[in-house]
């Protein structure tokens, strides 16, 4: 039985990972550590909350004593660090918390993993493998051609991507300096169930259903490389098990789409399946995001060649599955879009 300390497992990708792992394996134990910020939601985890191999601890990854206690009371084989402030727009208006969580939180986790291993505790003599969940945004922005590979120099632009790049460098430094076993995966844009509706797909879905303006930043021709969340979970699982220690793996589906295409796809789906009144007239081109990266595109050749990973869900299938999930889970959607979300939306979009 291997024990995974998963941080940020109540967020979008983290909760999908916890569910993916517990559905796939009977011999893994997951300890989910999440401070439950606005983005953390225990409702995502109702399908696994009674699983005997699952437990939840509400704690901040910056809290040394709380994290140390988990290491003392268990035998952790892997740390999988999803916990982060993840939204680029929030990082533009309030960068500091991104440094605190994404950089200092990651360094705290690294220190505790390193200490557990170095104090000679028998349970940790092999070292705790530290998996950092990172992003293609650390590479910066592409022109019309080319892809990010693992050797592309880091060139982050937003406060969010700068904090993720800094965290990646600390993770690499703990390997290079102390030989802590690590991996880093850098993935493109995820979509799927449980994504908080500050992100493009669930936000546009929600606004379309409510007959609200559909805010498209600038000309809407920015390109993102979309990957169904389970394919990302599969990649992380494979890298933790078989990835070469100390290495970075890029994860992406060669699935590049301009934002305006995504928005039109959502409108079409709602028009066909829910409400014939909605249409492209609802699109509103609004002020562009400051420093908006134009294009991301991942070259996933290394993870394909070394580990045999490939994306199983095409965009055409995945987007329908996702939109249907939101329609079938109205209560979840209503709960996350009430209260604080309304205030966030007003503040973020009122001057756009």
Of residues 60, 77, 85, 136, which has the active-site annotation?
Answer: 136
Q: Cα–chain-centroid distance for residue 169?
A: 18
Q: Is 90 in the site for ligand NAD (CB under 6 A)?
A: no
Q: If 0-12 CB within 10 Å is exposed, 13-18 middle and 19+ buried, where does residue 100 land?
A: middle
Task: Please pick, among 160, 194, 326, 344, the residue that the annotation labels catalytic.
Answer: 160
Q: Is 160 a catalytic residue?
A: yes
Residue 292 token pair: 């908006």
Rank residues 70 and 138 by Cβ distance to ligand DAU and give the closer one.
Answer: 138
Residue 127 interacts with ligand NAD (CB under 6 A): yes or no: no
34 binds, among ligand NAD, ligand DAU, none (CB under 5 to 8 A by kind): ligand NAD
Work out how close the CB of 315 gets to ligand NAD at its nearest, in angstroms, rounded to a whole number.
14
- Binder of ligand NAD out of 91, 141, 152, 189 (CB under 6 A): 189
* Closer residue to ligand NAD, CB minimum distance, 102 or 208: 102
Write out the residues near ligand DAU by the rule CB under 6 A.
86-88, 135-137, 188-189, 199-200, 203, 215-217, 222, 224, 259, 289, 296
Q: Is 103 in contact with 163 (CB distance < 8 Å)? A: yes
The answer to whether 251 and 187 are in contact (CB under 8 A) is yes
- The answer to whether 56 and 26 have CB atoms below 8 angstroms apart is no
User: Smallest distance, Å, CB 65 to ligand DAU?
Assistant: 28
Among 29, 45, 56, 62, binds ligand NAD (CB under 6 A): 62
What the block records as the tokens of 63 is 């809290």
Tokens 């950092």 sit on residue: 132
Q: Scan residues 104-123 and list those touching ligand NAD (CB under 6 A).
A: 105
Please state, in angstroms and rounded to a whole number, the distance separating the CA atoms of residues 130 and 32: 15
Instruction: Report d(CA 70, CA 84) in Å as an integer.
Output: 19
List 34, 77, 85, 137, catalytic entry:
137
303 binds ligand NAD (CB under 6 A): no
Give the Cα separation of 40 and 61 in Å (integer): 13
In the complex with ligand DAU, which residue's Cβ is closer, 77 or 85?
85
**Which among 88, 95, 76 has a CA at the least distance from the CA of 222?**
88
Annotated catalytic sites, by residue?
A: 136-137, 160
């Amino acid at each position: 039985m291997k024990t995974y300390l998963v941080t940020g497992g109540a967020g979008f990708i983290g909760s999908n990972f916890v569910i993916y792992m517990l559905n796939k394996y009977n011999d893994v134990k997951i300890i989910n550590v999440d401070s439950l910020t606005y983005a953390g939601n225990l409702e995502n985890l109702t399908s696994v909350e009674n699983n005997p191999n699952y437990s939840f601890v509400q704690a901040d990854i910056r809290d040394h004593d709380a994290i140390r206690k988990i290491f003392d009371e268990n035998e952790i084989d892997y740390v999988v660090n999803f916990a982060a402030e993840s939204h680029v727009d929030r990082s533009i208006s309030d960068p500091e918390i991104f440094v605190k969580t994404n950089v200092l939180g990651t360094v705290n986790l690294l220190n505790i993993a390193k200490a557990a291993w170095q104090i000679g505790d028998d349970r940790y003599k092999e070292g705790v493998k530290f998996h950092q969940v990172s992003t293609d945004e650390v590479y910066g922005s592409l022109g019309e051609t080319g892809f990010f590979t693992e050797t592309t120099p880091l060139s982050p632009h937003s406060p969010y991507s700068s904090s993720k790049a800094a965290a990646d460098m600390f993770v690499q430094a703990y390997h290079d300096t102390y030989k802590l076993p690590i991996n880093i995966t850098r993935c493109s844009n995820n979509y799927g169930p449980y994504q908080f509706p500050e992100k493009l797909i669930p936000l546009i879905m929600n606004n379309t259903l409510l007959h609200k303006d559909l805010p498209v930043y600038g000309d809407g021709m920015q390109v993102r490389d979309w990957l169904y969340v389970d394919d990302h979970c599969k990649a992380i699982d494979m890298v933790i098990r078989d990835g070469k220690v100390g290495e970075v793996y890029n994860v992406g589906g060669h699935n590049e789409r301009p934002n305006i295409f995504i928005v039109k796809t959502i409108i079409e789906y709602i028009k066909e399946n829910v409400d014939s009144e909605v249409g492209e007239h609802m699109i509103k081109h609004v002020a562009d995001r400051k420093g908006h990266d134009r294009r991301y595109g991942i070259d996933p050749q290394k993870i394909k060649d070394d580990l045999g990973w490939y994306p199983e869900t095409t965009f055409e299938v995945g987007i329908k599955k996702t939109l249907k999930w939101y329609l079938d889970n109205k209560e979840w959607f209503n709960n996350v879009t009430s209260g604080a979300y309304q205030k966030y939306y007003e503040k973020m979009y009122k001057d756009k």
